[in-house]
Chain A
Amino acid sequence: MAQAIRSGAHQESAVPYALTYLGLLALTVTTFVLSRKDFGIWSFVFAMGIAVTKASLVVLIFMQLWHHRGLPRLALATALLWLALLMVFVVADVRTRFPLSNPSYNPIAGPGEPAPSNEKTGTGQQNQP
């Protein structure tokens, strides 16, 4: 444990920082240039792939997770896991809606808008709790 704490506490060379900085600048210019052209679905893949690469460089080199193994990595991994769970279940909720899982009135319709309803009887407002 003590060995693990000591190892990597001191980044002795500044060269990795400089290389990381140059890499981040190059990736930023690359993602901007690529975004000016339309690659269809690949535009999204390129942009997010480059973002993840840049984030990894910042986390591993600037934030030193390459050296600081163990608990700091666990803290970050846990946050990313919770983020993924939140994302997956919220998206899954919206994607799997069907009439019986929806309110019979439109809860976010603006004033004067008709309330869409999948039920035979529904102007909807009368069912509002």
Chain B
Amino acid sequence: MHPEAAAERHFSSPEFQRHAARLGMWTFLATEILLFAGLFVAYVEYRSLYHESFFQGSRHLDAMLATIETVVLISGSFAVAMAHHYTLINRSGWACVGLLLAAASGVAFLALHGVEYVTHFREGALPGKYYTFSEIQTSGISMFFTLYFLLTGLHSLHVIAGTGVLLWLAFFAARGAFSSQNYSAVENGGLYWHLVDLIWIFLYPLLYLIG
């Protein structure tokens, strides 16, 4: 990797190469949205079938903790946006700091979410037939926690992957690999992290806020 990376031979210019990379990334992000789409549709259906249980399940979750998790993820997104900005003005050091802060936000989010999971494991609010939580025993409550674990679990897997990508980018940024002429990796890695944020922006009200 080199700050003045030239375009591959089949691209007429670096600009076109960046454009192609960006479009490829957006196409991938579109498939990621569809990956979550099935679970979102399942949520809508089961919520309408078991409205009372979803209300009680949602009220049982820790909305304050989820709000802190939201702030952490949004801060990570901001850090990535700033890393992209600093790459474009050739400040590799600051770009590296932004990427590391964003990766730290990913780790912090996972830790906070781990606290949530441990609480639910202890009280038996688990997916499917493993649900043994005695305080809420209404019909369909198991489906709420099944969807809760599937949605947040799939999202957390994306946070893990995104954190890895950010650390990888930070490593190369620290070596001065990116510049205003070679920033596609930072831009597209950043897009992935913003998507992780985007999914959470909808999970947060659907699971924690809407009773």
Contact = CB atoms under 8 A, between A and B. Distances in A.
Interface residues of B, number: 51
Q: Interface SS of chain B: helix, strand, loop or mixed?
A: helix
Contacts, number: 133
Given A51-B205, A87-B41, A76 B30 contact: yes
A76 B45 CA distance: 24
Interface string A2-15: 10011001111010
Contacts of A94: 45, 48
Interface residues of A, number: 48
B34 interface: yes
A78 interface: yes
B23 A72 contact: yes
Given A21-B74, A58-B201, 18 more contacts: A5-B15, A5-B19, A9-B15, A25-B74, A28-B67, A35-B205, A35-B210, A44-B210, A58-B194, A58-B197, A59-B198, A62-B197, A72-B23, A79-B33, A83-B34, A87-B44, A90-B44, A90-B45
7 contacts: A17-B85, A28-B67, A31-B209, A58-B198, A76-B30, A83-B37, A94-B45
